[in-house]
């Protein structure tokens, strides 16, 4: 099959890796050969793909990337830093879901609905942005195209799925423990998440902003190719299993009415407008779960500012916030014939 590719999923047994596997099948990505890669402890498991049960292999040596065209990596920063440059040396393009290369000046940071053309600049590695950044930029970009955004104030309500399959299992277990009158046990999160919420548990900087909040700031500026946009965020972990929510306040250079914003968003790729003002019905994480689109609604004038607009969104963190975005990048590479077009003599370390 001349138009199909040898693909490897690095971190295949994790929540995002499994979702990538399902998407490659459901979207009929042109796979000629598929390698499922994970850590030693996951080796020997099998995962279903196109009617077969494929074995999971441990990544032990460079040889495993021989003849691989595309690596979809979702195994954490340290793993990506170790193996992504090696995979590139062996001739693969790596789409990396970790934070390892996102802010590297020579690595495109891509949301296909926003800056898909940036894939053409890859030197072997393309970075998938943080989940909250992806969901926000899909919704804000089409409005920014119509009327430049000067400032973004974001508050996120992030589900357990953002911390992986073990965090989702922990939330379920804690809910059972509390309902049975027991003390909830926490191993993945620093505090009980069931019937509770807390500011995002990533490290804090000297200004009191956590790593997750700064990802939204820095990554959005890079994706928009605009260092002047003022962005601030407060990220909160909430007791939702899957799908993140965000309250976004936008300040434009000139007024943009809610009616104009709705008209723009109805036509924008990757978005579904969800609003029923009579029923007070707007996007909810339970309805975003398993969906490809970012659900956007409750679009209203900011009564405190003539150039301000408020909106609410929900999106599946594992799907569009991670796996789907990576697969869409891979589809763009295929469509543009860029999967094997590496810049000669360039490496990203």
Give me the phi and psi of 296, to 5 degrees please: -125, 140
Q: What is the 3-state secondary structure (H, E, C) of 269-308?
A: CCEEECCECCCCECCCHHHHCCCCCEEEEEEEECCCCCCE
Q: Structure tokens of 252?
A: 């434009």
d(CA 348, CA 342): 12
- With residues binned 3-state (H G I as helix, E B as strand, rest as coil), the percentages for the chain, rounded to 5, are 35, 25, 40
Q: Structure tokens of 2?
A: 């001349």
* Residues 94 and 71 sit within 8 Å (Cβ to Cβ): yes
Catalytic positions are 131, 244
Residue length of the chain: 349
Provide the edge-to-edge strand list for the sheet that holds 230-237.
198-199, 230-237, 149-158, 244-252, 308-315, 294-301, 271-273
d(CA 251, CA 254): 8
d(CA 343, CA 333): 14
Q: Are strands 31-38 and 52-58 parallel, antiparallel or unpaired?
A: parallel
What's the number of CA atoms in the CB half-sphere (13 Å) around residue 25?
13
Identify the bridge partners of residue 198 per DSSP, sorted by sequence position.
237
**At 224, is the secondary structure helix, strand, or coil?**
helix
């Amino acid at each position: 099959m001349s138009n199909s590719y040898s693909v490897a999923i690095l971190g295949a047994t994790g929540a995002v890796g499994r979702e990538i596997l399902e998407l490659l099948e459901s979207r009929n990505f042109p796979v000629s050969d598929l390698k499922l890669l994970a850590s030693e402890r996951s080796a020997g498991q099998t995962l279903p793909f196109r009617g077969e049960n494929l074995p999971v292999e441990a990544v032990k040596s460079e040889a495993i990337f021989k003849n691989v065209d595309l690596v979809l990596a979702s195994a954490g920063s340290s793993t990506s830093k170790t193996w992504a440059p090696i995979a590139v040396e062996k001739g693969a393009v790596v789409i990396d879901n970790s934070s390892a290369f996102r802010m590297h000046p020579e690595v495109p940071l891509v949301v296909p609905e926003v800056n898909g053309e940036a894939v053409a600049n890859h030197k072997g590695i393309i970075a998938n942005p943080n989940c909250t950044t992806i969901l926000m930029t899909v919704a804000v970009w089409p409005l920014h195209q119509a009327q430049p955004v000067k400032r973004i104030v974001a508050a996120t309500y992030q589900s357990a799925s953002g911390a992986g399959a073990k965090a989702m299992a922990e939330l379920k277990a804690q809910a059972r423990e509390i309902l049975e009158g027991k003390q909830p046990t926490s191993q993945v999160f620093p505090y009980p998440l069931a019937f509770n919420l807390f500011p995002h548990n990533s490290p804090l900087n000297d200004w009191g902003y956590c790593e997750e909040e700064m990802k939204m700031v820095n990554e959005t500026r890079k994706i928009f190719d605009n260092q002047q946009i003022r962005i601030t965020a407060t990220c909160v972990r909430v007791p939702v299993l899957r799908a993140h929510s965000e309250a976004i306040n936008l300040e434009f250079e000139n007024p943009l009415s809610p009616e104009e914003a709705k008209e723009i968003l109805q036509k924008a790729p990757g978005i579904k407008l969800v609003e029923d003002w009579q029923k007070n019905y707007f996007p909810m994480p339970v309805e975003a779960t398993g969906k490809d689109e970012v659900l956007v609604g409750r679009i209203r004038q900011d009564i405190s500012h003539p150039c301000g607009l408020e909106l609410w969104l929900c999106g599946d963190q594992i799907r569009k916030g991670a796996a789907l975005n990576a697969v869409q990048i891979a589809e763009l590479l295929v469509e543009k014939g860029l999967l094997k077009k590496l810049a000669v003599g360039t490496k990203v370390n």
